[in-house]
Amino acid sequence: MQSDDLGELKTSNDAREDASELRRRLDQDGYLFFRQLLAPDRLLILRHEMLTVMQVGGWLIKGTAPVDGIADPDARSTEGDPEYTDVYHQVYRLRSFHDVAHSREVMDVLERIRGCPMMPQPQKVARLWFPKFTEHTTPIHQDFVHFQGTHDNLTCWSPIGDCPRELGGLAVLRGSHKVDRVLEHHFSLGAGSLHVDPTEHAELSDEWLTTDYQIGDTLIFPALTIHKALPNVTEDRLRVSLDNRYQRVSDPIAEHMLNPHLASMSPLSWEEVYNDWDSDEFQYYWKEFETPVLPKITEYLDKAFGEAIELARRGDNRAKLHLRRTVAKDSNSEQGKLAATVLSAMD
């Protein structure tokens, strides 16, 4: 499906103060979309800080303004590549990156929707996508398979910079949350390594929605809404966005969401994240609440890994790439050893 074939997201700025109408729209459509819910000036400062770190890390063309996000094609990498995590975790140390998740503008809307205190989950996420790296575009999926906890958790996605369709914004499948269950996911490249095929489920519509996002825009949806990223087909622009989850303070949280993002790829502690902060505000804030902790459900990724093994044995290059990343992540794990054995047999 081309981005031109997608419909337009409906804005909810007109209902921002109306809790019952926000809930009705969320229940009906499976998303809420706000123009410039976050202050653009604040995000421009954050964009400059994030992209400056990326330029130091070698991701941007030397001599260009960091805020322009002009990517060096020789530096292309993505989640699962060690060289990606090396730079990503430098971005992750920025206090401003974590602070924005606590923005009162967002928290007010979320607490209005749920009618109770909410908190950002500790694991904040940035999505940093290189141009013309389309085989790694985030596939169609539901967030629950990755972030777990409860189906009521809400994702807030915001571009850090204007994000027209060709730069690869998010698209949602309208009303798809009404399936009211986690659908079967399969192996894929792209963030999370899991995808769902909506055509396998007759009750789903084919009404995909997106927009030309502007800095400060925010898309909100629950954990069962089916969504995807559009490919970044620009010549040279890096797509930068925030991708955070929120929950009721009384709801359970999955244990892996208490750790920094991609800490399983390369060790990173909260002490390291906080090391250069000039304030302890928002450090360990989740420990104020008696939030139940649930073990991580591994069956989704375990199933996908099994599919990748079988595909690799049949010569699928995408699956072989996934196995090489598994080995690079932890060659001594059971999956790392199996992946290495399969790859060695093929060589």
Domain co-membership, 59 together with 157: yes
Please give the full DSSP string across 55-115, using - where no structure is assigned. HHTT-B-TTS-GGG-BB-GGG---TT-HHHHHHHHHHHT-HHHHHGGG-HHHHHHHHHHHT
Do residues 19 and 53 share a domain?
yes
Helices (H) and strands (E) in the chain, counts: 10, 14
Answer yes or no: do 80 and 153 share one domain: yes
> Do 340 and 225 sit in the same domain of this protein?
no
Computed over every residue of the chain, the mean pLDDT equals: 95
- The pLDDT of residue 306 is 96
Do 312 and 254 share a structural domain?
no
Q: What is the pLDDT of residue 204?
A: 94
**Digit-coded pLDDT (tens) for 97-148:** 999 999 999 999 999 999 999 999 999 999 999 999 999 999 999 999 999 9
pTM for the complete prediction? 0.95
Distance of CA 121 to the CA centre of its chain: 13
pLDDT of 24 > 60? The answer is: yes
Q: What is the pLDDT of residue 328?
A: 87
Residues 128 and 207 reside in one and the same domain: yes
Contact 264, 172 (CB under 8 A): no
Residues 277 and 305 in one domain: no
In angstroms and rounded to an integer, the radius of gyration of the C-alpha atoms of the chain is 20
Closest to 244 (Cα-Cα) out of 232, 257, 254, 233: 257
Helix (H) or strand (E) holding 209: strand 208-210
CA 150 to chain centre: 17
Average confidence (pLDDT) over 191-211? 94
* Distance separating alpha carbons of residues 226 and 176, to the nearest angstrom: 6
Read off the tokens for 23: 């809930």
**Do both 243 and 308 map to the same domain?**
no
Whether pLDDT at 223 is above 90: yes
Residues 314 and 287 placed together within one structural domain of the fold = no
Q: Is the pLDDT of residue 162 over 60?
A: yes
pLDDT in the model for residue 329: 86
Do 273 and 302 fall within a single domain? Answer: no
Q: With CA atoms as reference, report the closest residue to 187 among 326, 345, 344, 28.
A: 326
Residue 126, SS3? strand
| Full residue range of the structural domain in which residue 338 is found | 298-347
> Are 208 and 309 contained in the same domain?
no
The total of structural domains in the chain comes to 2
Q: Are 134 and 228 in contact (CB under 8 A)?
A: no
pLDDT tens readout for residues 65-84: 999 999 999 999 999 899 99
Q: Are residues 241 and 145 in the same domain?
A: yes
pLDDT for the residue 5 = 84
Say if residue 4's pLDDT is above 80: no
CATH number for the domain including 251?
2.60.120.620
Final residue belonging to a domain, choices 279, 294, 309: 294
Give the per-residue pLDDT at 6: 95
pLDDT of residue 309: 96
pLDDT at position 3, please? 56
| pLDDT tens, residue by residue, 302-347 | 999 999 999 999 999 999 999 999 998 888 999 999 999 999 998 7
Q: What are phi and psi of 74, to 5 degrees?
A: -70, -15
